[in-house]
Amino acid sequence: MTAVDANILVYSQRMDSPWYRQAEDAIRELAESRTPWAIPWPCVYEFLNTVTHPRRYEPPTPVPMALTVVESWLASPSLVLLSEPMGFFATLRDVIRSTRVAGPAVHDARIAALCHYHGVDKLYTADRDFSRFARYVRVENPLVAPRG
């Protein structure tokens, strides 16, 4: 199963992004496939935070539009939303300890741990910092790498 990080979600919706077309194609391909794909819940929140933030984008995406975008992803019958069940902390703890991350990198560790916990084998992201979590999830940048 392939999961999608927030940066790809953002690029897929911001037409002012230089990676808009590639990101939109990657999301559409996943959403229209019968193969399960995933979005970690923290990435949904980060998407909403980023695209609607007036200091990140001028103009920001209107909140109703951003919510409609999320609803369109949720309508994909093959989408799996990744959340933290009871017992998840042990996985998160292991990822944090083994990669020795701290501070803001804990958020990325959370995404990697969610993917690992739920059996995700690939994470679409443009964030090179995720390479430190290669033991837990394979990363691929769909903006530059062939998908498949």
* Tens of pLDDT, residues 17-61: 999 999 999 999 999 999 999 999 999 999 999 999 999 999 999
The tens digit of pLDDT for each residue in 57-102 reads 999 999 999 999 999 999 999 999 999 999 999 999 999 999 999 9
Instruction: Using alpha carbons, select from 119, 75, 23, 35 the residue that is nearest to residue 137.
Output: 119
What value does the CA radius of gyration of the chain take, rounded to a whole number of Å?
15
- pTM above the 0.75 mark? yes
**CA angle (119 as vertex; 113, 122 as ends), nearest 5:** 80
In the chain the domains, ranked by start, together with CATH numbers, are 2-140 (3.40.50.1010)
Contacts of 4 (CB under 8 A, 6+ apart): 26, 27, 30, 37, 38, 39, 43, 123, 124, 125
DSSP state of 59: S
